[in-house]
């Protein structure tokens, strides 16, 4: 089995998972997996057969690097790349690619979000290995998710006909989050996949495409990479990083590369979930006979549920959570904030966070 480099951008605060997820302790640091592993740890575990700790790199912010370093004790310190400030995904991924390229210029790297759940890791690894084969042929590969519903919350990949009868399909276009009507059409087409921001490519191919489409960003990253590991590293990073364009890798590189015919995808069907909100979380974690999901069910004193169905309960404060006669509610109990919200309003949790910011309650977000 080919050993790839794995890059894990660990950013984003998971606003819709408030009050569990906070700016200071975001989604990927939490055990939302039904086990004691955090989403970040589960991501590393899932990569186990595809890479090694020495070839695993995490890109994270200054606020979370200490927690990341402790959660991932096996990852070497020099593989934990710290962004001095958030510059969106292109800068983060490009930095990792450039650092890897200094070690192995033709290395294949895969980039995988730190905060997604995969129900069938074995199947996922098989799909990633198909993508690795495409990457070795010089393609910028993505792993697309076979849609199961007309989701309006994700971007889509519009694909062409399979290549050589294999699993690879060219990606004709990256599509923004669609309207409900368009999403229905995508679902019916059979040609559209969810864009889960999983990428696999040779670092030299990616960096060349970056140079072609984003020359300024490329030049900055190259300057940083040349200073990497020298005593100049901090100075160069501190000077150059803030000048880098704040842009997503999809928009900066992948869309243009797709237009140029350089992007392909492998459709995957492995129980992917981006754990975007508590309703979604409730759909992937095991429920009791009444459809209640308790995250951290072994917490003490835990929960007392009477005549409840379809709840998502997070007893995360060490207090008893008692619910009587309620249905399809989200109840999230943390040491300094409590949330009660119907599952079909799970998206609106973001609005609570916005309102708290307006109130100046930064300590609670």
Residue 353 Cβ vs a copy of itself, minimum distance, rounded to whole Å = 9
Residue 84 Cβ vs a copy of itself, minimum distance, rounded to whole Å = 32
CA 358 to chain CA mean position, Å: 27
Cα–Cα distance measured from residue 122 to residue 32, given in angstroms and rounded to the nearest whole number: 20
Residue closer to a copy of itself by CB (options 162, 335) is: 335
Residue 276 Cβ vs a copy of itself, minimum distance, rounded to whole Å = 16
Residue closer to a copy of itself by CB (options 108, 305) is: 305
Cα–Cα distance measured from residue 292 to residue 1, given in angstroms and rounded to the nearest whole number: 41
Cα–Cα distance measured from residue 146 to residue 162, given in angstroms and rounded to the nearest whole number: 14
DSSP string, 238-300: HHHGGGS----HIIIIIHHHHHTT-EEEEEE-S-EE---SHHHHHHHS---TTS-EETTTT-S
Residue closer to a copy of itself by CB (options 213, 334) is: 334
Residue closer to a copy of itself by CB (options 188, 351) is: 351
Residue 351 Cβ vs a copy of itself, minimum distance, rounded to whole Å = 6
Residue 289 Cβ vs a copy of itself, minimum distance, rounded to whole Å = 17
Cβ-based burial of 51 (10 A; exposed 0-12, middle 13-18, buried ≥19): buried
Residue closer to a copy of itself by CB (options 190, 335) is: 335
Residue 330 Cβ vs a copy of itself, minimum distance, rounded to whole Å = 9
Per DSSP, 147 falls in state P
Residue closer to a copy of itself by CB (options 79, 308) is: 308
How many Å from the N-terminal Cα to the C-terminal Cα in the chain? Answer: 43
Residue closer to a copy of itself by CB (options 257, 321) is: 321
Kind and range of the H or E element at 52?
none
The angle, 0 to 180 degrees and rounded to 10, between the axes of the packed helices 88-103 and 215-227 is 50
Tokens of 263: 């992007």
Residue 341 Cβ vs a copy of itself, minimum distance, rounded to whole Å = 4
Tokens of 80: 């934990």
Kind and range of the H or E element at 82?
strand 80-83
Contact footprint for a copy of itself (CB under 8 A):
19, 301, 304, 306-307, 317-326, 329, 331, 333-342, 345, 348-349, 351-352, 355-356, 359, 361, 364
Residue closer to a copy of itself by CB (options 103, 351) is: 351
Residue 273 Cβ vs a copy of itself, minimum distance, rounded to whole Å = 22
The angle, 0 to 180 degrees and rounded to 10, between the axes of the packed helices 121-136 and 39-47 is 60
Q: How many residues does the chain have?
A: 365
């Amino acid at each position: 089995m080919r050993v790839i480099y794995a890059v894990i951008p660990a950013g984003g605060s998971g606003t819709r998972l408030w009050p569990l997820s906070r700016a200071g302790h975001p989604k990927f640091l939490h055990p939302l997996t039904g086990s004691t592993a955090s989403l970040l740890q589960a991501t590393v575990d899932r990569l186990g057969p595809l890479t090694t700790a020495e070839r695993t790199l995490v890109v994270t912010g200054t606020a979370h690097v200490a927690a990341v370093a402790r959660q991932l004790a096996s990852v070497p310190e020099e593989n934990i790349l710290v962004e001095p400030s958030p510059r969106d995904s292109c800068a983060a991924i490009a930095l990792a690619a450039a650092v890897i390229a200094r070690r192995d210029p033709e290395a294949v790297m895969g980039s995988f979000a730190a905060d997604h759940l995969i129900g069938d890791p074995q199947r996922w690894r098989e799909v990633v290995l198909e993508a690795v084969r495409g990457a070795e042929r010089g393609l910028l590969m993505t792993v697309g998710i076979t849609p199961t519903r007309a989701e309006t919350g994700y971007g889509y990949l519009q694909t062409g006909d399979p290549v050589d009868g294999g699993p690879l399909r060219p990606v004709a276009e990256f599509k923004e989050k669609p309207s409900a009507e368009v999403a229905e059409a995508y679902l019916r087409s059979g040609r559209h996949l969810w864009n889960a921001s999983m990428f696999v490519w040779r670092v030299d191919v990616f960096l060349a495409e970056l140079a072609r489409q984003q020359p300024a960003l490329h030049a900055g990253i190259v300057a940083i990479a040349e200073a990497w590991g020298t005593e100049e590293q901090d100075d160069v990073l501190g000077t150059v990083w803030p000048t880098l364009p704040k842009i997503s890798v999809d928009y900066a590189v992948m869309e243009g590369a797709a237009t140029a015919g350089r992007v392909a995808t492998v459709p995957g069907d492995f129980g992917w979930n981006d754990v975007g909100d508590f309703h979604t979380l409730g759909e992937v974690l095991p429920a009791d006979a009444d459809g209640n999901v308790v995250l951290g069910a072994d917490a003490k004193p835990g929960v007392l549920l009477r005549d409840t169905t379809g709840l998502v309960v997070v007893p995360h404060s060490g207090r008893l959570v008692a619910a009587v006669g309620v249905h399809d509610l989200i109840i999230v109990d943390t040491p300094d904030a409590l949330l009660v919200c119907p599952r079909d309003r799970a998206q609106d949790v973001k609005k609570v966070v916005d309102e708290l910011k307006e109130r100046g309650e930064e300590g609670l977000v």
